[in-house]
Amino acid sequence: MSTSASSPSKSPPLLIENLVKTYGPIRALDGISLRCEQGQFVALLGPNGAGKSTLFQLLSGLFTPDSGRIEVMGNDMTHNAVPALASLGIVFQQPTLDLELSVTANLMFHAGLHGMPRSLAKERIKRELDRLGLADRANSKCGQLSGGNRRRVELARALMHDPALLLMDEATVGLDPGSRAELMSLLHSMRKERPIAVLWSTHLCEEVENADRIIVLHKGHILRDTTPSELLNSTGQTTIEDAFLSLTGKIEDAA
Ligand code: ATP
């Protein structure tokens, strides 16, 4: 995998067209289309079972769709997966660090997967750890870090190859409210420094209020793809939570 992907000039970081994924009779994604523009923070808001994880599995190349298309920076995920994957960074819902290894060793391993020369990797690791306030933990074992700091290491790992698109799959699950707020705030300040698109999946309405766009996903369908204010206007509600409730009929595990 190269450290920079080919990027046809007018291609958005992410383009999805008519994506379908079924599990037997279950249509987990039933023909969804969306796009993320450079620099946008797009929140994918959906209750349990909406299809968020299925979408992220397809986006990260773990599974292939039944039909439809995913392009990352103009690179088709099915037919041109290497440059597509090289253009994205992912923080998965489940923790994926090796807790026995140091922060630096975890990041070095990832750099190796991206074919990054060691000297560049060291530079990038320092850059990301500085930016994320983890410089003094570079040699700590990941197992010694708090849940919030482990997530920051995963974020550093997702960013060190300078992706055009950052995928955050319910990344605040398991974090206490303070760590959750810190991670959100880090993400929003990071966007001022880099031209990166973020797709943030969550079932928590409080996490989407500052998004550029909110995509409401329910039972494999996109119910809305709009701005937070337009979501309120179009549903006649005064809070995102009420708007979400009025569209989906329920909010599961939203506390
Ligand atoms: P959660 O927030 O609970 O993780 P989600 O929005 O990520 O939910 P998915 O996990 O993508 O939703 O599930 C979408 C639908 O597909 C659900 O009906 C789910 O039961 C079903 N599903 C997901 N994975 C499988 C699988 N491996 N086999 C069968 N059905 C599945």
pLDDT, tens digit, for every residue of 155-200? Answer: 999 999 999 999 999 988 888 888 888 888 888 888 888 889 999 9
Q: Answer yes or no: is pLDDT of 4 > 70.
A: no
Q: Is the CB of 47 under 6 A from ligand 1?
A: no
Q: 142 C-alpha to center of ligand 1: Å?
A: 30
Looking at the chain, which runs of residues are DSSP E strands? 14-23, 26-36, 41-45, 67-72, 75-76, 88-91, 165-169, 197-202, 213-218, 221-226
pLDDT digits (tens, 9 = 90+) for 193-224: 888 999 999 999 999 999 999 999 999 999 99
Distance CA 73, CA 78 (A): 13
Tell me which of 98-102, 182-186, 228-232 is least confident. Answer: 182-186
CB 171 within 8 A of CB 43: no
CA distance 157 to 111: 8
Amino acid identity for residue 98 in this structure: D
Q: With cut-offs at 50, 70 and 90, classify the pLDDT of residue 250.
A: low
Ligand 1 neighbour 203 (Cβ under 6 A)? yes
Instruction: Specify the pLDDT at position 201.
Output: 95
**Which pLDDT value is given to residue 29?**
98
How far, in Å, CA of 43 to CA of 22, rounded? 23
Is 60 exceeded by the pLDDT of residue 145?
Answer: yes
Pocket test for ligand 1, best of 21, 30, 52, 244 (most atoms within 8 A of CB): 52
pLDDT at 173: 85
Would you say the CB of residue 26 lies under 6 angstroms from ligand 1?
A: yes
> What is the structure's pLDDT at 7?
45
For residue 254, the model assigns a pLDDT of: 40
* Nearest Cα residue to 167 out of 34, 60, 29, 54: 60
Mean pLDDT of the chain: 90
CB of 54 closer than 6 A to ligand 1? Answer: yes
pTM of the model: 0.90
With a cut of 80, say whether residue 10 has pLDDT above it.
no
Mean pLDDT to the nearest integer, 49-78:
94
Closest ligand 1 atom to Cα of 220: 14
| CA-wise closest residue to 109 among 125, 93, 94 | 125
pLDDT band at residue 2 using 50, 70 and 90 as cut-offs: very low
Is the predicted pLDDT of residue 252 greater than 50, yes or no?
no
